[in-house]
Amino acid sequence: SQQGEEDPQALSIQEGENATMNCSYKTSINNLQWYRQNSGRGLVHLILIRSNEREKHSGRLRVTLDTSKKSSSLLITASRAADTASYFCATDAVGAGSYQLTFGKGTKLSVIP
Amino acid sequence: EPEVTQTPSHQVTQMGQEVILRCVPISNHLYFYWYRQILGQKVEFLVSFYNNEISEKSEIFDDQFSVERPDGSNFTLKIRSTKLEDSAMYFCATPPTPRETQYFGPGTRLLVL
């Protein structure tokens, strides 16, 4: 089954606006991590939220987790052009023998100056 | 933030040739992972490595792939006889302990012609 599906697939906003990306998954998880990837570059870790946590903040980032709905959201407030990137959620599923991450397809965010 | 390094950053090879991708994990990290990302697609787990042996591998990780930690610092992924469909970005990742943040290297972009 698919694990970690983000929506929307693409999002275009004006600088200064907030951006919200959602992630759904199918199996029970230990934790969920959000990553950012600039075009053709590496994966930059943003936030890890554990299954017993509901919300975490880091600077302009806010992540929520609803395990009953098997979903998470990433909110970027006061977006900047430099936030333009693809954003991925990745889950560490219960039962994944070596805690490997399962990634979604990502949301491509464009922030227009 | 701790840094994982990978070499080379880019590699072009002919189909059927062997390639070795190298990773220098964060010191004191004991769990190592390889992932790949075909252009425009999601990041996929290949293999995990702990205590000098493979912990788990995906169906992608067939007999053409191998991993080793030859000298206690480098962590390598070898593809014995490359195929066109092996063209992808390959990422190494390490967490400090299982279920913690996985720190990704910048990736090696492999192009098989």
b/e burial code for range B91-109 (CB count within 10 A of at least 16 → b): bbbbbeebebbbbbbbbbb
Distance from CA of B57 to the nearest CA of A (A): 9
Question: Rounded to a whole number, what is the distance in Å from the CA of A78 to chain B's nearest CA?
Answer: 24
Q: Alpha-carbon distance B39 to B109, whole Å?
A: 10
Q: Which of A13-17, A41-45, A68-72 has the lowest mean pLDDT?
A: A41-45
B13-25 mean pLDDT: 95
pLDDT confidence band for A41 (50 / 70 / 90): confident
CA distance A70 to A9: 18
List all residues of chain A from 72 to 91 with a beta carbon under 8 Å from chain B.
88, 90
Chain B neighbors of A103, CB-CB under 8 A: 35, 42-44
Q: Is the pLDDT of residue A98 over 90?
A: no
CA nearest A38: which of A47, A46, A30, A50?
Answer: A46
**Predicted local distance difference test score (pLDDT) of residue A3:** 57
CB contact under 8 A, A35 and B33: no
**Contact indicator for B66, B78 with CB cutoff of 8 Å:** yes
Q: Which of B1, B42, B99 sits opposite A103 (nearest CB)?
A: B42
Span B34-79, pLDDT tens digits: 999 999 889 999 999 988 899 999 999 999 999 998 887 889 999 9
**Which structure tokens are listed for A109?**
């965010």
A29, A91 Cβ separation under 8 angstroms: yes
A-B interface: how many C-beta pairs under 8 angstroms? 66
Whether A2 shows a pLDDT value over 70: the answer reads: no
Calculate how close chain A gets to B80, using CA atoms only, in Å: 24
B23 vs A contacts (CB less than 8 Å): none
Q: Are A32 and A91 in contact (CB under 8 A)?
A: yes
Query: What is the CA angle B95-A5-A90, rounded to 5?
Result: 5
Task: Report the pLDDT averaged over residues B20-32.
Answer: 89
Task: Show residues of chain B in contact with A97, CB under 8 Å.
Answer: 55-56
Which DSSP string do the residues of chain A spell out, in sequence order? ----EEE-SEEEEETTS-EEEEEE-SS-EEEEEEEEE-TTS-EEEEEEEETT--EEEETTEEEEEETTTTEEEEEE-S--GGG-EEEEEEEEETT-TT--EEE---EEEEEE-
**For residues B2 and A110, what is the distance between their CA atoms, to the nearest angstrom?**
28
**Mean pLDDT in residue range A62-78:** 96
